[in-house]
Amino acid sequence: MPFEKGNKLGKGRKIGSKNVKDNTIKDKLKGFFEHNLENLQSTFDKLDDSQQVKVMMDLAPFFVAKLKQVEIEQYKHNEQNQVELTAKEVEIIVKELEQYY
């Protein structure tokens, strides 16, 4: 039976309340990493460059916010589906990025 708007039977958590299970797991993982930081660093240092990059890429989603993938439909695409920008369009995009960052 799908959720129906106005359902009073299954109220769930209050808006803004924390999920206790998630917090418990996060706290335990945080403690594990804090307790083993030196060990983890020495193990990481023994990896070759490509392995270190792989570890960093695998861990990045947990520490860096993910950006939404967007489609650029307003620009002209060539046969390889690559966006072709005019100099003016590039200038506009650069200005917008400079304002944002």
The count of structural domains within the chain is 1
CB-based burial, 66-85: b 16+ in 10 Å, e otherwise: eeeeeeeeeeeeeeeeeeee
pLDDT surpasses 70 at 51: yes
Question: Is 101 part of any domain?
Answer: no
Better pLDDT: 97 or 18: 97
Question: Is 8 part of any domain?
Answer: no
Question: Is 12 part of any domain?
Answer: no
Summarised one tens digit per residue, pLDDT across range 55-89 is 988 888 877 777 666 655 565 656 666 767 788 88
Question: Is 35 part of any domain?
Answer: yes
Domain that holds residue 43: 20-63
pTM: 0.41
Question: Is 53 part of any domain?
Answer: yes
Pairing of strands 76-77, 83-84: antiparallel
Q: Round the CA-based radius of gyration of the chain to a whole number and report it.
A: 23
Question: Is 28 part of any domain?
Answer: yes
